Structure 1
Amino acid sequence: MSVALTQKIPLDEFLRLPYLDDSPAWEYANGVAIQKPMPKLRHSILQKRLLIALDNSSDNYTALPELRCTFAGRSIVPDISVIAWNRIQVNDTGEPEDNFVEAPDWTIEILSPDQKVTRVIDNILHCLHHGCCLGWLVDPHDYSILTFAPQQEPNIYRGEVQVLILPEINLQITAAQIFNWLKLNQS
């Protein structure tokens, strides 16, 4: 179950909350701080396998788990943020800056049982309105992937249909292949 603070606060105050980085992550939208639900095992397996598949499919992008992205008045923590390496700001020593203040190139959310689907879609749409190229809503209970892209209608993928991927990422995968990762007796 998600927890929300009832009192509205400004974004800069939210970013100073002492428990902001506690697990599960806290997000901020419309003046309200909301804690995401704690992921369950199926969610974690899908997240891990997607991270590996995406990282192994591109030298130009990296897939990062639970990265706080603060931009355009919100602070969100997608389950997976896919970001082009050349968009990651580095400091004087060549290391990445800790705070990512843009929309990811691709945001992936894996729906948890206690999560409000409209809140998750709202975050995906916020990303798309601010430069994100692709959003996925992975529903492990429905075995479906709902995709969002700028200037396009959402699409739902099930079974053996190839899921929409960023064109620069060399990965062809179906919803069935993704959800087969949940069958532990298979590779």
Structure 2
Amino acid sequence: MVATPVQLSLDSFLASDYIETSPAWEYLNNAAVQKPMPKFRHSILQKRLLFALTAIEPQYLALPELRCTFGDRSIVPDITVIAFENIQLDDYGEPEDNFTKAPDWSLEILSPNQNVHRVVDNLLHCLKFGTQLGWLIDPGDRSILVFKPNQEPSIFRDEQLLPILPEITLELTPQTIFQWLTLGQKQ
């Protein structure tokens, strides 16, 4: 069950202790909104995508559930891919805890009963603030809706090669991604 939005300012939201509870809370349209609890297929896809994306280092870092606060929103994409050059470092050369930029690539996995318009709205917000690529993965439809700046979204299915950031040499298709849900097979 998703909680009813609570109206407050972004600063009040970020100062609240409850936003770090699971499932994650996001701030959009002056309200705190809790994401739905991930289900089994969501978790499998998130884990396997993160594993596949580890091959993109050292240019990029792929992280699960990283809070990104920018443009009067605070969102928590299922997977965030960030170029190392865009990671804010402290005086020790370590990443700042608060990430205050749009990710380079934002990946969302649609959960049952999740509001698809809210997820699309977050991906469009990311693009507005500099994200280069967004994916909305729909396990129920076995499709991936791809967002790029200044372009209409495109739906990818089956063996269509998915767009990846230009510097990354990784080839994925929706069929490959959704086959990860068949347990007991070698991956």
Q: TM-score, normalised by structure 2?
A: 0.97
Match runs of 1:7-22 below 5 Å: 8-22=7-21
Structure 1 runs not aligned, ≥5 long: none
Q: In structure 1, what is the Cα distance between the partners aligned to 2:104 and 2:5?
A: 29
Post-superposition shift, 1:167? 1.0
After the TM superposition, which segments of 4 or more aligned residues of structure 1 sit over 2 Å from their partners? none
Q: In structure 2, what is the Cα distance between the partners aligned to 1:125 and 1:2?
A: 22
Opposite residue 19 of structure 2, the aligned amino acid is L
Correspondence for 1:168: 167
Correspondence for 1:33: 32
C-alpha distance after superposition, 1:69-107 (max 9, x if no partner):
000100000000000011101111111100000100000
Is 1:68 equivalent to 2:67 in the alignment? Answer: yes
Q: In structure 2, what is the Cα distance between the partners aligned to 1:2 and 1:168?
A: 37
Sequence identity percentage: 61
Q: In structure 2, what is the Cα distance between the partners aligned to 1:49 and 1:149?
A: 23
C-alpha distance after superposition, 1:111-161 (max 9, x if no partner):
000100000000000000000000000001111000000011111011011
Aligned length: 186
Q: CA RMSD in A?
A: 0.8
Correspondence for 2:121: 122
Q: In structure 2, what is the Cα distance between the partners aligned to 1:18 and 1:173?
A: 38
Match runs of 1:1-187 below 5 Å: 1-6=1-6, 8-187=7-186
Q: In structure 1, what is the Cα distance between the partners aligned to 2:4 and 2:150?
A: 32
Q: State the SS of the aligned residue for 2:15.
A: coil
Which has the larger displacement, 48-57 or 59-68? Answer: 48-57
Opposite residue 139 of structure 1, the aligned amino acid is D
Post-superposition shift, 1:25? 0.3
Structure 2 runs not aligned, ≥5 long: none
* C-alpha contact (below 8 Å) 1:27/1:33 kept by paired residues: yes
Q: State the SS of the aligned residue for 2:77.
A: coil
Q: State the SS of the aligned residue for 1:20.
A: helix
Opposite residue 2 of structure 1, the aligned amino acid is V
C-alpha distance after superposition, 1:35-73 (max 9, x if no partner):
000001110010011011111134200110000000010
